Structure 1
Amino acid sequence: MSDATDELPDDLASALTLLAEARTRRITAEAEAATAKAQAASAKALVSHSEALIARLKLEIEKVRRELYGSRSERKARLLEQMERSSRNWRLTLEKTNWRQRLRPKPRRSGLSSASVHHGNHSLNICRASVSLSRPRRAALVAVRGKLSKLGEDITETLEVIPRQWKVIQTVREKFTCRECEKITQPPAPFHVTPRGFAGPSLLAMILFEKFAQHQPLNRQSERYAREGIDLSLSTLANQVGACAAALKPIHSLIEAHVLAAERLHGDDTTVPILAKGKTDTGRVWTYARDDQPVRRAIAARGSLLCFARSTTRASRAPLEDLHRHSAG
């Protein structure tokens, strides 16, 4: 303590000189820290740019390879080699930059440590709600006498689900009358997909998806909706499915005409269980796909689609009838 006191200046001029030197050292240290921060940001930007350029070069390489799959030419081969060489050089530059970042001494961090997250194989796209437990219990504070300071935090993730909610949208249409001409006016009724229907488009889409994609019969859907408090009988669901099929028939006809108009077709069948009276039959779903591999540009311009048809057996009569019906039409 006496040595530190002896080093202090006795006069005001020496004290001012000492303060000026300390201020100069502090300004120099701050300038060095700002320079290091700018260099780190520049290196990070260079790494991001290099990664984006490498990704773009990879996409272009794959595109050239797809073009080479048809007719191979020496010019395209040289272009592919040049792009691969450029991509390799950028990868080497990126690796050198990463090694420089690793060898550079990291500054000491002061303050709170990063949080550790304990979670399962949950998707990052799921919405997350945070519940903060900031204060410990009183039982944990019995042996603590001093002031608490935050050391860090641990995050534990719990997967939950929000049950499906039903709602009824009431569209109020007010009526107005004119006393002079004695006419009544009212806004038109809201549009429904099915004639004189009551189901919204989202409900109809869910019913169709459960039936045709998840292979859930309408009777099971009706029972599940009843357990949720919604009375949708089997006949009502069947009527809605039939009305949706009639509404989507023009789109199906256009898709069928587009697919079956190709010069080459791929066709195959898949077995599907069909509920029958007192038993379960085995039906067939036929899938037809266009084969326009040599004319990729035409496919990109018009689009590639699939067409589905059904039959009760695997005999060739069903697909031949589909082809003859289209050729005759």
Structure 2
Amino acid sequence: MKFLRPTRPTIPILAKGKCRTGRVWTYVFDDRSFGGHLPPAAVYYASSDRRGEHPQKHLADYGGILQTDCYNGFEPLGVAQRKDKPITFAFCHAHARRKFFELADIEKSARDSKRNGKPISPIALEAVKRFDALFEIERQINGLSAEERLAVRQEKSRPLFEDMHVWLQQERATLSRSSDLVKAMDYMLKRWEGFAHFLEDGRICLTNNAAERALRGLALGRRNWTFAGSERGAERTAVMLTLIMTCRLNEVDPKAWLADVLARIADYPASRLHELLPWTWKKASAATALPQAA
């Protein structure tokens, strides 16, 4: 597996009569955006805090592209000298764009103006427009092969991105340290190489939105079950999320898959358990249904 997108939403965990904020670490593999044919999958881990030691443990044996936000806890994975399988960081442009968008949100500014809020930043608005031009190119090449995507990016995206770099540096030099724009600009400028990796590898996406989409079930779950009853409960939640989301990514009904697998797995040979994986199970179920349909 050479391409992962992680994220880490919060999960309330009940402990000693009160809830504390835990984390669910989400890793998604999905190569369909660059025409890949491997089955997509998601895996979740739960922890009681957000310390970097958790992803470092999860990804100890992983080597390849890791597309994420700029969370510091991931960074030792890429710089560890003893790591046999190096990790290439490709940072998420949606996270970078969001920081500018918050300063250029016209509707929010209109509401805030009634409460003497801050005016819209023209620099932030221009940054959002530049991001949107890059995202428009990405929409046109989504699903093409990595080679085709790379060729289009070299022709169309690279000039826009390099011009953005120069523009950001020029605008950054004119701002005071107290400007809200400084953090948004430095978020990218200090890690520009990681944001630019998409220009060198057609497999890399502009965002880690695949991982963000994998959080919907967890967000809805928090509304229904409010919290995990213990750390073990959070770990079990992560296991169930792994099974259910992997089914959904492969267009498999999680309820049908779970009902069938749980009924058969006790007597199933350990050497053949791979046959019960959602993508293999889907093919077997389709093959079984064909004679009946005929």
If the TM-score is normalised by the length of the shorter chain, which range does it land in? Answer: under 0.3
Larger Rg: 1
Bigger fraction of residues in helix: 2
